[in-house]
Each structure stands twice: as C-alpha cells, then as structure tokens.
Amino acid sequence: MSEPAKALLSVNNIEVIYDHVILVLRGVSLEVGEGGIVALLGANGAGKTTTLKAISNLLASERGDVTKGSIEFRGERVDRLNPAELVRRGVVQVMEGRHCFQHLTVEENLLTGAFVRSGARGKIRADLDIVYNYFPRLKQRRKSQAVLAEAKRTTESAEGTLGFHATPSFAIEGPRTDGLELLGTPESAEQFEEAIARAG
C-alpha cells in the first residue's frame, strides 16, 4: 500500500499574537495538496486574512507574530523566512483590496511581479502573453493607468501578476468581500485552475 502524498503546504496548530498581547488566532491547522484549492470561510474578523498573512510571512509589518505551531512548505519549515525569500521559493499572495501601483500602467503592474525572477526577457514576455490569454481585457487596457481601469480589470491585473512572481507553485488570494461575484463565474474558476496546472 502506497504512502499518502505529502501536503504541499501544512499549517500546524498555529497561534498568532499582535503587539505581544492580542491573541488573534489559536489552534489553526490546514493542509493543501499538490494541485489543490482550499477556501477559508468565515465572518469578518474571524481571522481569514491573518491566517493568509501568517502563511505569507507578512505579519511582522503589522506587529504580529506566529508564537506557536509551525508552517511548512514542501516539508520545510518556512514561518521564520522573510517574505522575499518565500516568494523566491514560489509562494505568492494577491493581497486583499485590489492593490496596484496606481501611477503605473496595467502592463507595468504586471511586470513588477517579475522583479525577483532571473532569466531572459523573452521568457518573461512569453509569460506576459499567457496572462493576456487568461485575461484578454487586460491586453486591451495594458497601456492605461491601473487607477483608471475598471475594478474587475484591476483585480485581474493583481491576479495576472501571479504569472510572474518567481513562477509560483503556490498562490494565495486574499478575501474577496468586495468582489465575490468574480469567484462565482465559470470563467474565473477555469482560469485559476489553468494557472495552477501550468505552475505544475
């Protein structure tokens, strides 16, 4: 009998505290397998965003810390790495709130995701074409400033950036409380699944 496949990501009974005194999370555990999609559901304030930031190692910027438990990626503990190193290992997060650089064009926003990548410009351009294939409306607005793009296109710009962040093997998307209708469309789900399959 073959052994079960190891999880790509394991969150093991973590506790998160802000400002050394405010307990926000306790006993959170989850696993994500290769090629899997896992959703965190809960009311506002339940700790969804904090859980995602713990996985991405972004808590320190908000004076938060994982004080108990561990987070492992591909069997290696990663909760003490800095965020940049985690991105280089293939873990990226599209932040909640449709964050883009408003003074840059849509295409320039997409290309910021290639900052940590090394390689030929031709490969980056080829990946940009793949993103435009997933989101053809982005190509139509690629020279427009991101701040002028419609909300959905701005969100797609953030999603499209996943195609460049160190060719990710694990993608985290922040809560979509301001755009849940996008998650319910077959087009959006199919595009996300294609991106996961391409990442391998």
Measured between alpha carbons, how far is 46 from 26 in angstroms, rounded to an integer? 11
CA atoms 167, 82, 170, 182: torsion sign: negative
* Cβ-contact 35, 7 below 8 angstroms: no
Residues 151 and 100 in one domain: yes
181 with 112, same domain: the answer is yes
- Say whether both 97 and 68 belong to one domain: no
Per-residue pLDDT of the chain (200 residues; tens, 9 = 90+): 455 567 899 999 999 999 999 999 999 999 998 878 888 888 888 899 899 999 999 999 899 999 999 999 999 999 999 988 888 888 887 776 656 777 888 888 888 877 777 667 778 888 888 888 877 888 888 888 776 666 556 656 666 666 666 566 777 776 655 443 333 344 555 665 665 565 55
If asked whether residues 116 and 17 sit together in one domain, one would say: no
* Cα(101)–Cα(113) distance, integer angstroms: 12
Q: Domain with 195 in it: what CATH number?
A: 3.40.50.300
User: Which of 53, 81, 109 marks a domain boundary?
Assistant: 81
Ramachandran region of residue 187, left (φ > 0), alpha (ψ -120 to 50) or beta? Answer: alpha
Judge if 116 and 199 occupy the same domain.
yes
pLDDT of residue 163: 62
Q: Are residues 67 and 150 in the same domain?
A: no
Domain boundary among 81, 102, 134: 81
Q: Are residues 185 and 120 located together in one domain of the fold?
A: yes
What pLDDT score does 13 carry? 97
For residues 33 and 37, what is the distance between their CA atoms, to the nearest angstrom? 8
**How many domains does the chain contain in total?**
2
The three-class DSSP label of residue 32 is strand
Statement to judge: residues 47 and 74 lie in one domain: yes
Q: What is d(CA 151, CA 153) in angstroms, rounded to the nearest whole number?
A: 5
Q: Which domain holds residue 114?
A: 90-200
